[in-house]
A = this chain, B = another copy of it.
Amino acid sequence: MSSTGNSRKARYWGWGYEDIVYDRATTEHALKALVQEFRLSDLPTKTTAIDIGQHAVPESKLQRDFIDRWSNKGLSVDKAQRVIHTVGKSYRDLVRIRAGKIDRYPDGVLFLQDERDLQFLFEDASLFGITLIPFGGGSGVVGGTECVGPSDKPILVISLRKLNKLLSLDEISRTATFQPGILGPELEAALHERGYTLGHFPQSFEFSTLGGWVATRSAGQNSTKYGRIDKLVVSLKAQTPRGAMETRAVPASAAGPSLKEIWVGSEGIYGILTEITVKIAPLPQTQRFVGAFFNDFGVGVHAVRKMIQAGLHPSILRLSDPTETALFRKMQPMSGWKEAAFSLWLRVKKAGSAPSLLLLTTEGNREESLRQESLIRESLQKNGAAVLSKGLSEKIGMKWLQNRFALPYLRDDFMDHSFFIDTLETAALWSGLERLHGRMGAGFQEREKKTGEKVTVGCHLSHAYADGASLYFTLIAVQRKNEELRQWDEIKKLATDTIMENGGTVSHHHGVGYDHRPWMKQEKTELGIQVLRQIKSQLDPDRLLNPEKTI
């Protein structure tokens, strides 16, 4: 990943900043690998997104009186802002925004200045008949900020980005209270200054907010150690059209159902989070990598399970299946003799010709991190792993670490060259994990036989718990020109149906949004959905907030 200048202009049509380009050598290698994978005669010609000015953004439907009341409180009806805030960053979003095929743009963006404006805003939204869509970093990949809602009502996006302060830090209790709109790097910088970390690093880290993490019930790459966001939230405050709600800042309680849990995963349908208190941890003194190969994904899953159930606690943890491991290897520009030496090593270690790569870290204080590393190496070896040397583990690990937030940039390159690429993730109990993984691959192979469309399915186990783990799937295909959205629909449906039919959850960390909504009855039961709707009718009776999302 390299920066070509000082400008920090965002790619409105893709990931991150315009001046960031994914490592060129890897990109070229990766594209070549895709040409091979899909047996194309040549790399498809590069296409680029239309210019932001070419978007046919209609006049704002926001009422003149409303605009007058809010223009000095952060309201913008600027067309570029309206384009930028019209979708998130899913493949489906980018296909549409690159081509300017957007059904609906928001009619304005309110950069909220002050939490205290919210109650007035709800009143005005009710009075003027305006739909409100809360917006954090805008990095969502499940349509959580999709501009949908009653067609006769203007849509106003509420950007929380100005509410980005650290409000307090309690070193005794190791908790910190933030406003919701703080981005990952801002939050970590504020904590680092005092010697702490939240330990929450989703791939979107640079472009997502604490409020977004909580609202989507997210997990980060280090969550196997620090815990998902639902474990990190101590308490929160929210403003709803019916007033404020606040949960008590206590470590645990038996005082009835946890209302905090109604907000974690609420995706802006109930109200807007305004203060969030989280657990913090001292900055780790060290981070150590362990890399290993297995001759079979199932053996790897078994080894990871044994390690976690023995009480060992890696921080980052990813076990790639053979398809993902092979793709990963193909994408690395590696000299011929290195590749040969490596293949030989794998043979000697009996890791087979289609191995699964495990990469993990241990972190914390020096002593504990070393001890975990040594116990983990021992546990893996006992369970069939070909464990890499410390040096090589470190090398592969650092490479991954440096790139860990950059992979979505590579997606833009893939889309430039007309490849379909989507990711989706789930979690299941250990006893059902391999079946689910196997069914996903088999399902797309069966589909290829029927339709002739090849979809390459790579997967890694990304978070592990005592009772199960998360699986993260990457699906790649050649784009069907002019049928990009239909193609996505078909692939998404097969993948998600496979998850639901095999005991998985519809999402382990991306959330529900607009895209996963069709599966929510299966996930929550009919009665469960009714309960969630009932809560909505209590907190947002006029249905101002984020309609048609989640339920």
Q: Which residues of A contact B (CB under 8 A)?
A: 170, 172-175, 216-219, 228, 230, 234, 240, 242-259, 261-267, 279, 281, 305, 309, 311, 364, 368, 426-432, 463, 465-470, 503-512, 516, 520, 523-528, 530-532, 534-535, 537-539, 550-551
Contacts and interface: CB of A to CB of B under 8 A. Distances in A.
B217 A254 contact: yes
B465 A512 contact: no
Q: Which 10 A-B pairs have the closest CB atoms?
A: A251-B468, A261-B261, A253-B505, A251-B465, A173-B429, A172-B431, A217-B254, A534-B538, A250-B505, A254-B507
Contact of A240 (B246, B255, B527, B532): B527
A289 to B, nearest CB: 21
A256 B368 CA distance: 35
A219 B252 CA distance: 10
Oligomer copy total? 2
Given A250-B503, A252-B470, A259 B172 contact: no
Contacts of A511: 254-256
Given A173-B430, A240-B527, A504 B250 contact: yes
A430 B173 CA distance: 5
Contacts of A242: 527, 530
Given A244-B525, A259-B531, A528-B259, A508 B254 contact: yes
Contact of A175 (B257, B429, B506, B524): B429
Given A173-B429, A279-B466, A430-B172, A254 B218 contact: yes
A477 B530 CA distance: 49
B173 A256 contact: no
Contacts of A528: 245-247, 259
Q: Which of A174, A253, A259 has the most CB of B within 10 A?
A: A253
B534 A534 contact: yes
B251 A230 contact: no
B463 A252 contact: yes
Given A466-B174, A467-B279, A523 B254 contact: no
Nearest to A175: B467
A174 B255 CA distance: 28
Contact of A311 (B259, B364, B431, B512): B364
Q: Which of A248, A309, A525 has the most CB of B within 10 A?
A: A248
A505 B247 CA distance: 10
Contact of A251 (B249, B251, B427, B520): B427
Given A256-B267, A257-B262, 4 more contacts: A173-B468, A248-B523, A255-B524, A256-B520
A505 B537 CA distance: 28
A527 B551 contact: no
A524 B259 contact: yes
A306 to B, nearest CB: 11
Given A172-B431, A311-B368, A534-B538, A523 B244 contact: no
B469 A251 contact: yes
A255 B505 contact: yes
A465 B252 contact: yes
Contacts of A535: 257, 531, 534-535
A249 B279 contact: no
Contacts of A506: 253, 255
9 contacts: A245-B525, A248-B523, A251-B428, A252-B508, A254-B511, A256-B267, A259-B528, A531-B539, A534-B534
Given A258-B230, A261-B258, A265-B257, A174 B467 contact: yes
Given A173-B429, A173-B467, A524 B249 contact: no
Q: Which of A429, A532, A551 has the most CB of B within 10 A?
A: A429
Contacts of A267: 256
A253 to B, nearest CB: 4
Q: Which of A259, A466, A467 has the most CB of B within 10 A?
A: A467
A530 B243 CA distance: 11
A217 B253 contact: yes
A309 B528 CA distance: 37
A429 B175 CA distance: 9
A429 B250 contact: yes
A257 B532 contact: yes
Nearest to A524: B259
Nearest to A313: B311
A429 B258 contact: no
B520 A249 contact: no
A538 to B, nearest CB: 4
Contacts of A530: 242, 538
B550 A243 contact: no
A11 B368 CA distance: 51
Q: Which of A364, A428, A466 has the most CB of B within 10 A?
A: A466
Contacts of A510: 254
Contacts of A252: 219, 228, 230, 427, 463, 465, 468, 470, 505, 508
Contacts of A531: 245, 259, 262, 535, 538-539
Given A257-B261, A427-B251, A246 B525 contact: yes
